Amino acid sequence: MGKIAFIGAGSMAEAIISGLITRGVTKPEEIHITNRSDEKRLAYLQNNYGVTVCSSIETLLEGAEIVVLAVKPKDVLAAVDAVKAHVTEHMLLISVAAGVQILSLEEILTKKIPIIRAMPNTSAAVGKSATALAINQYTQQDDLKLARQLFETIGSVAIVAEEQLDAVTGLSGSGPAYIYYLVEAMEKSSEKIGLDGETAKQLIIQTLIGAAEMLSNSDKTPAVLRKEVTSPGGTTEAGIKVLEAHGVQEALISCIQEAAEQSKRMGLQISQELTETLLHRNA
């Protein structure tokens, strides 16, 4: 893989970089990166991963095959505005910004270039991201192949219609956080039931890995797998009754729906802000 330029150097950029370098897909120095102003953060990434830190947009983008936009949605307009003069049709722009529509990116860029919206998750750092990709009208098969290759080195890839990306964001983009939330609860409970932290941590992690592998390797549904753990009149049944009394499954469904809605709201807000900014510029 050729030169990859990252605009934004936060959690998601680091997770992707870490995954790419661990898997040896690209030489660390081929990864070029910049952020808004945090030099300490850039120095940390340079020291830990050997990536090339760029202080000028020209150096960042010159000869880049892929440009990854990894800034917060609210910063997309400023970030793309700052680089657009140096973006060419030979580059593939991949945006991981939640909610930000391809149309918004096209309107800021005013160039007919391939754009792929990606929704990975932070498990990219260990090569286990669940990523969904949506393409724009200028994306060729080779561009999609390149993006697929990039994200397959850090996990699995699904190709979806752009409209589905809000749902993907609520489900798997934010998904790791729901699992970590569950683990926080398991850790808190282990104190209450008298297990030491280290032992509990080991048991919890192995339980999660085992359950994930069962889901992945078995033909059984989650409901059947759950039933197999639940002996009549036993411990699991007693525990699940408490979850049901608290409406935990409904709460999780609402949580994912709300996250997907938030992705939609963020996208709409950015597209409205963009329309206003462009109207002002052209006035």
Ligand X SMILES: NC(=O)C1=CN([C@@H]2O[C@H](COP(=O)(O)OP(=O)(O)OC[C@H]3O[C@@H](n4cnc5c(N)ncnc54)[C@H](O)[C@@H]3O)[C@@H](O)[C@H]2O)C=CC1
Ligand Y SMILES: O=C(O)[C@@H]1CCC=N1
User: 172 to 191, contacts with ligand Y by CB under 6 A?
Assistant: 173-174
Sites for ligand X among residues 151-210 (CB under 6 A): 173
Closest contact distance (angstroms) between CB of 146 and ligand X is 19
Question: In 193-283, where does DSSP find H-type helix?
Answer: 197-217, 222-229, 235-245, 248-282
* Cα–Cα distance, 58 to 87 (Å, whole number): 10
> Minimal CA–CA distance to 15: which of 38, 43, 49, 39?
49
* Residue 10, binding choice from ligand Y, ligand X, none, Cβ under 5 to 8 Å by partner class: ligand X
Q: Which of residues 86-125 bind ligand Y (CB under 6 A)?
A: 98
The one of ligand Y, ligand X, none whose footprint includes residue 106, by CB under 5 to 8 A per kind, is: none
Among 3, 4, 5, 9, binds ligand X (CB under 6 A): 9
120 binds, among ligand Y, ligand X, none (CB under 5 to 8 A by kind): ligand X
Contact positions with ligand X (CB under 6 A) in 107-126? 119-122
Residue 267 in contact with ligand X, rule: CB under 6 A: no
The least distance separating ligand Y from the CB of residue 79, rounded to whole angstroms, comes to 16
- Kindly state the smallest distance separating residue 262's Cβ from ligand X, in Å: 11
Strands 155-159 and 129-135: parallel
- 147 binding ligand X? (CB under 6 A): no
E strands, the chain, in order? 4-7, 31-34, 52-53, 66-69, 92-95, 115-119, 129-135, 155-159
Give phi and psi for 258, each to the nearest 5: -65, -40
Place of tokens 């722009």: 93
Beta-ladder partners of 32: 5, 52
| 229 known ligand binder | no
Partnered with residue 94 across adjacent β-strands are 68, 116
For position 20 contacting ligand Y by CB under 6 A, the verdict is: no
Give dist(CA 116, CA 108) in Å, integer. Answer: 15
Position among 26, 52, 123, 169 found at the interface with ligand Y (CB under 6 A):
169
Q: Is 132 in the site for ligand Y (CB under 6 A)?
A: no
Do 28 and 16 contact (CB within 8 A), yes or no? no
Among residues 8, 155, 170, 267, the one that binds ligand X under rule CB under 6 A: 8
Binding site for ligand Y (CB under 6 A): 98, 169, 173-174
Residues comprising the binding site for NADP(+)? 7-12, 70-73
